[in-house]
A and B are shown apart, each in its own frame.
Chain A
């Protein structure tokens, strides 16, 4: 089946790094995405990685892709309270989202 799995909660202190993990099932996905949902809002596309890449860096965000293990991660450096949100990973062309990871950043 098409399942995306993520851990449900992550709590970090302000200034620390956060790592949010995701496993997916479809090895043919061309792109993999990370979305951010702030409280009371819709999902916004945060970043993405093309499937032929291992890593992508975008300011404080680093996306790592391990195609062999079908594992995707999002690292947020110097995590701020404004990063508190739910983060979803998703596969291109797939309509199924996981439960999302709720990131809580404590001052």
Chain B
């Protein structure tokens, strides 16, 4: 039982490049979400999903896309990376009202 797995752990991108952050969970959780964490800003919600085929925007969705074709996977796509997207990204999953299980994070630097 691996929980929530995020890949890669570290990534450096050049401005304008695109990439996909991967997130997979093996707990059959309905809810999945992506957050970014910046110093002094806490966790900010980017996008979330309440089930396969259903996604919605969070607080800071601009510049990011998501899809949820399966229960297990919830990839986050950066369309055209900008230095303002330098951050630590966390994926989390949960079943209904229970607490979230977080991945270990992806540290992204955009130069």
Main secondary structure of the interface of A (DSSP, over half): loop
Residues of B within 8 A of A (CB): 33, 35, 40-43, 45, 48, 58-59, 90, 92, 96-105
Q: Is the CB of A95 within 8 A of B99?
A: no
Give CA–CA (A48, B98) in the complex, Å: 10
Question: A85 to chain B: closest CB distance in Å?
Answer: 14
User: Which 8 interchain pairs have the tightest Cβ spacing?
Assistant: A99-B42, A42-B102, A92-B97, A97-B43, A43-B102, A45-B99, A33-B99, A42-B104
Known interface pairs A41-B105, A42-B103, A99-B40; 9 further A-B residue pairs with C-beta atoms within 8 A, sorted by A's residue number: A31-B98, A33-B99, A35-B102, A42-B105, A43-B90, A43-B102, A88-B42, A92-B97, A95-B45
Q: Which of B43, B58, B97, B104 contacts A88 (CB 8 A)?
A: B43
Chain A, interface residues (CB within 8 Å), range: 20 to 34
